[in-house]
Amino acid sequence: MYVAELSFLVIGDTSYSAAETAIRHYLEALIFRGQMLGREMPTYFQQDRFVSRVQLPAPDALLQQHHSERGLSALQQLGAAGLALPKLNVLGEDLMANHTDPCKAPSALILYSRFALQNSPVYCAEHFAPVPLYQLAPRVDFEALIRWQLQYQALDEIQMQQHSVLLKSAERALQQPNSQLNQTGRNLARQLSKLCNKPVYYALYRGSSADCATETDRRCPGCGAQWRLTESWHQLFDFRCDHCQLVSNIAWQCQ
């Protein structure tokens, strides 16, 4: 992940409201395309330009060739708001963030998210490193996937707080295979698999168990088959079903 600044030079009549709207629409298009990461986009006015501090999955993430149609449209709307096309200044690599996957064409992917991760929710199955969404398919808008990720992370953060009044509800949403959250995630994984023409595994989170003695004997919730691995996959997943394209872990309370 890289920290960068986007500067929008004022070249015509504008107002704070018009500039804010145009910049926000452009940045949102970048987020939903996977060209920009995170939810915080601090933007300030400096002399003759607006400047936004952003996080990128790669230094070349904002090339127009990676934009969606929505992004290209938002880019052109900046001119109508009296702003020049943005100028990018990459400040450096974020040392506290995950590094983007080195694969150019991973053979399989994993849909995985946790509350503290700001990177892409799609991982290379070989290196278990995040894959920028814009690299998966040209011009595709991934808004539904990003919005699922935001919901997943919100619920995950709630269930990590031991004294949360919504702890059990959040945990059920994350753990139950047929919860609305996981049904949506599995549907997105299937759509992504068709789009990329490769397997996309969906990671089922397991935090607690009703019986640790039988936890390792769990069957695949999709087809009922044995799916326990002899060795953990990426030191995280203890179960994998290649037929249902599901992976999961031994409940953390049982480890």
C-alpha torsion angle, residues 156, 194, 31, 98 (rounded to 10)? 60
Domain coverage including residue 180: 109-254
| Residue whose tokens read 């996981």 | 182
* Residue 142, in any domain of the structure: yes
Residues 129 and 27 in one domain: no
Q: How far is CA 184 from CA 36, 70, 132, 190, in A?
A: 23, 23, 20, 10
Pairing of strands 49-56, 43-46: antiparallel
pLDDT of residue 103: 84
In a domain, 98, yes or no: no
196 forms bridges with which residues in the sheet?
A: none
DSSP states along 124-144: ETTT--B--GGGTSTT---HH
Residue 104: inside a domain, yes or no?
no
The whole-chain average pLDDT of the chain stands at: 94
Q: Do 245 and 207 lie in a common domain?
A: yes
In a domain, 126, yes or no: yes
Q: Map residue 222 onto helix, strand or coil.
A: coil
Residue 103 lies in a domain: no
Of the candidates 60, 93, 126, which is a domain's last residue? 93
Do 61 and 174 fall within a single domain? no
Supply the Cα-derived Rg of the chain in whole angstroms: 20
Task: Report residues of the chain scoring pLDDT below 50.
Answer: none
Q: Tell me the C-alpha to C-alpha distance, in Å, between residue 50 and each of 5, 31, 60, 80, 94.
A: 10, 19, 21, 15, 23
The total domain count for the chain is 2
Q: Taking a C-beta distance cutoff of 8 angstroms, is the pair 131, 201 a contact?
A: no
114 and 89 co-located in one domain: no
Pair 238, 248: CB distance under 8 Å: yes
Instruction: Determine contact, residues 177/219, Cβ cutoff 8 Å.
Output: no
93, 126, 151: which is the final residue of a domain? 93
CATH number at residue 58: 3.30.70.100
What is the pTM for the complete model shown? 0.94
Q: Are residues 140 and 243 in the same domain?
A: yes
| Rounded Cα gap, residues 80 and 14, in angstroms | 9
DSSP state of 123: E
C-alpha distances out from residue 68 to 35, 53, 140, 143, Å: 10, 21, 6, 11
Q: How far is CA 210 from CA 112, 118, 161, in A?
A: 24, 31, 20
